[in-house]
């Protein structure tokens, strides 16, 4: 399993830790008074996606449904005083899952703003791409998911193709001829350039670094 796949799986499981802890507490408290088999059917959606390709954005709705049903089971068939405990545990689990990442996000954002990295890097990248001939409305491609590539919005560029995250390592291991084939495929979508981050050192001579950042550009015109 590629590193990106393991990272995605771990991130997905981390999001469920608080709900799992809450349901475990309720299960220990109410064991024998609920029927657990009612929630199993929601796993069918996960199994169907697992046969093809799984990303959290694909199964997010089913995850919400699964936890809603799970906590609803604890709500039914219990005494009035106990279901208030169910509501409290569910609220704590929800609040914890939302609040837990916030300190890290706030600290990282503050550091980025203090170093002017968010504004200056993205703006400078957009300007440099403009000087390279990319105009508003032009289409571009990416090696890996282009999340966080705000320069595209600033330059009014549009991502139309990408090498998926799980294929990045495989892409960099390709020989030059196979890379050229990939570039031609990306160019066939109308993309005029490809953007990448985290380039292996051996590859950097073939790409142009954008501003003082980890973004690199390779022109597809003429391929």
Residue 41: the pLDDT is 62
Q: How far is CA 27 from the centre of its chain?
A: 32
- Is residue 105, in this structure, part of any structural domain at all? no
Q: Are residues 132 and 213 in the same domain?
A: yes
Q: Which pair of structure tokens corresponds to residue 85?
A: 């405990």
Q: How far is CA 98 from the centre of its chain?
A: 16
- For residue 61, tell me if it sits in a domain: yes
Same domain (yes/no): 90, 37: yes
Indicate the number of domains in the chain: 2
Per-residue model confidence (pLDDT) at position 182 = 94
Determine contact, residues 191/155, Cβ cutoff 8 Å. Answer: no
Per residue in 112-142, pLDDT tens?
666 655 556 888 999 999 999 999 999 999 9
Answer with the one of 43, 71, 100 that is the final residue of a domain: 100
- The answer to which of 55-59, 184-188, 214-218 has the lowest mean pLDDT is 55-59
Q: Give the structural domain span for 34.
A: 3-100
Report yes or no on 107 lying in a domain: no
- Does residue 66 sit in the same domain as residue 132? no
Residues 116 and 214 reside in one and the same domain: yes
Residue 213 lies in a domain: yes
Same domain, 17 and 72: yes
Domain co-membership, 133 together with 89:
no
Q: In what order do the strands lie in the sheet with 158-163?
A: 158-163, 139-143, 191-197, 215-219, 208-209
Q: Which pLDDT tens digit goes with each residue over 20-37?
A: 666 666 555 555 444 555
């Amino acid at each position: 399993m590629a590193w990106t796949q393991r990272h995605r799986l771990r991130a997905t499981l981390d999001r469920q830790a608080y709900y799992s802890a809450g349901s475990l507490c309720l299960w220990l408290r109410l064991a024998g008074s609920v029927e657990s088999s009612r929630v199993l059917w929601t796993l069918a959606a996960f199994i169907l996606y697992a046969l093809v390709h799984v990303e959290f954005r694909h199964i997010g709705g089913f995850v919400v449904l699964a936890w809603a049903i799970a906590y609803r089971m604890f709500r039914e068939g219990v005494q009035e005083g106990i279901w208030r405990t169910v509501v409290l545990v569910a609220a704590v689990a929800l609040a914890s899952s939302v609040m837990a990442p916030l300190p890290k996000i706030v600290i990282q954002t503050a550091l980025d703003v203090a170093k002017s990295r968010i504004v200056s890097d993205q703006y400078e990248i957009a300007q440099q791409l403009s000087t390279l001939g990319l105009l508003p409305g032009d289409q571009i491609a990416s090696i890996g998911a282009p999340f966080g590539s705000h320069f595209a919005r600033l330059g009014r560029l549009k991502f139309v193709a990408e090498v998926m995250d799980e294929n990045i390592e495989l892409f960099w291991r390709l020989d030059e001829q196979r890379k050229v084939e990939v570039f031609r495929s990306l160019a066939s979508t109308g993309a005029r350039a490809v953007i990448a981050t985290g380039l292996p050192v051996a590859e950097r001579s073939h790409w142009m670094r954008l501003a003082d950042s980890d973004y690199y550009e390779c022109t597809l015109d003429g391929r």
